[in-house]
Amino acid sequence: MAGVGGGNDFQWCFSQVKGAIDEDVAEADIISTVEFNYSGDLLATGDKGGRVVIFQREQESKNRPHSRGEYNVYSTFQSHEPEFDYLKSLEIEEKINKIRWLPQQNAAHFLLSTNDKTIKLWKISERDKRAEGYNLKDEEGRLRGDPFRITSLRVPVLMPMDLMVEASPRRIFANAHTYHINSISVNSDHETYLSADDLRINLWHLEITDRSFNIVDIKPANMEELTEVITAAECHPHQCNVFVYSSSKGTIRLCDMRAAALCDRHTKFFEEPEDPSSRSFFSEIISSISDVKFSHSGRYMMTRDYLSVKVWDLNMENRPVETYQVHEYLRSKLCSLYENDCIFDKFECCWNGSDSAIMTGSYNNFFRMFDRSTRRDITLEASRESSKPRALLKPRKVCTGGKRKKDEISVDSLDFNKKILHTAWHPKENVIAVAATNNLSSLPDVSATLYLLAKPPLKNPPLKKMLGRR
């Protein structure tokens, strides 16, 4: 299918906006992770309050041709609760750091969700039938009067009921991480997955909760000699023995689990030599990689550091094949960004289904898309003011200096409290989910809003039917 390009490249419109508008929104509603499942029919979000909300795409029907597969709430559940570590006198946040779906194998859906310390496997299943006509219980489940008065028996019958979606925790993988978990990744063998914290990576079997294999350990013997931490890890999409992990120094290590039980020695080491002329106080912070994602093909991987996105060919270790500047105009503002803590923000990045385009977030609720083939890029804004349904989003531009043109926004007017850290791209179609985060310290606006964007509806309805993927 055509990627971002091909006729109506970079034309996007708001499909839906999900989130509370009123000022009652609490910090707990801030979305901390967004993830489509393998088919794209389900979209999961996790928030700071430990909740998971799953949206399901409606089937497109002839009756409502304009509803191009809307996402509506399918299930909501509390995944993690705040806990207290009594030994260290530390509170364990319930914030969901990552959600990863398992490939669907039966009618139920499974996902892994994790906070800083504990990973949970959740089963989301539908129930649309209910047994009725019990002998001992009445409709509300209360015991019927005197059981001795029953003179005849009947078999309960399954009757249809309103669809109920239940989420139940099937496995809890706990007590394996001393440091804060930053990544989980399901392996292509569909049996194992890895979890990574600042210094260690563990390999789990989905059926076994009481033990895991430690496959990477970069903790130095003397913690005072610590120079780098693990920032993200991911399994290769096709080769179940390969995974990568990124570091705070801007390097990526690819490891092969066949080589050794402990993958401390990498198989490949990806690092771009630093440009000595751009060295500054904050060089180390901005080179820290916040996210790493394999392409769907498995041939490339993408890394996000503070100012740029880089695409690496797995066969070439000494430099990325493509580098995209996300917001280079911030390079001269690093000191202020250090003061207001924004320099520590961890942006994620994602590929589209065909690997022809990549997307990542920025400040002022801007997000950026890059078309890899045409090298064109666009900046769009996720905001309620401009979010009329089916209206085309206007490209935004940041004025870096000199005269500010009309419709441009100057760097100093950017709102650094509004940032897009989490984005997701539908695995097959041009539908994206963008979580706009808004710190409560700013004026009350939307605190946590999920924007769903899609391509504008085509003017020719018959053509649309042909392209519809259901």
Partner 1 sequence: MEVNTEVKRIITLSLGKLYSSRSQRGGMKLHRSLLLSLVMRTARDIYHSARLASESGEWQPATAQSVQEQPATEEQMDTSGAQVETSAPQLTSPLDSQLSEVEKPGHPSYARSTEDEENRSPASPGCQSRKRRGKASAEPDFLPSKKARMETGGESPAIRCVGLRSSNVNSCRVGDTLTSVPVSLAIAAF
Q: Which residues bind partner 1 (CB under 8 A)?
A: 88, 90-93, 95, 116, 179-180, 182, 198-199, 222-229, 231, 248, 281-282, 284-285, 288, 335, 338-339, 341, 344
| Closest to partner 1 by CB, 271 or 322 | 271
CB 330 within 8 A of CB 308: no
DSSP secondary structure, 291-310, as one string: EEEE-TTSSEEEEE-SSEEE
Rounded-to-integer distance, Cα 345 and Cα 28, Å: 18
Q: Which of 223, 228, 219 is nearest to 201 (CA)?
A: 219
| Closest to partner 1 by CB, 87 or 153 | 87
Structure-block tokens of residue 470: 């259901």
Q: Classify residue 462 by its DSSP letter.
A: H
Residue type, 7: G
What is residue 404's three-state secondary structure?
coil
Q: Cβ of residue 82: shortest distance to partner 1, in angstroms? A: 8
| Closest to partner 1 by CB, 48 or 418 | 48
Q: Which residues contact 154 (CB under 8 A, 6 or more apart)?
A: 133, 135
Rounded-to-integer distance, Cα 50 and Cα 79, Å: 6
Q: Cβ of residue 86: shortest distance to partner 1, in angstroms? A: 13
Beta strands in 218-348 (DSSP E): 230-235, 242-247, 252-256, 268-270, 291-294, 300-304, 308-313, 322-325
Q: Cβ of residue 229: shortest distance to partner 1, in angstroms? A: 5
Q: Cβ of residue 109: shortest distance to partner 1, in angstroms? A: 29
Compute how many other C-beta atoms are within 10 angstroms of the C-beta atom of residue 429: 20
| Closest to partner 1 by CB, 341 or 408 | 341
Q: Cβ of residue 307: shortest distance to partner 1, in angstroms? A: 15
CB 457 within 8 A of CB 390: yes
| Closest to partner 1 by CB, 115 or 295 | 115
Rounded-to-integer distance, Cα 277 and Cα 270, Å: 21
Q: Cβ of residue 28: shortest distance to partner 1, in angstroms? A: 12
| Closest to partner 1 by CB, 246 or 364 | 246
Q: Cβ of residue 463: shortest distance to partner 1, in angstroms? A: 49
| Closest to partner 1 by CB, 199 or 309 | 199
| Closest to partner 1 by CB, 168 or 175 | 175
Q: Cβ of residue 116: shortest distance to partner 1, in angstroms? A: 6
Rounded-to-integer distance, Cα 336 and Cα 157, Å: 67
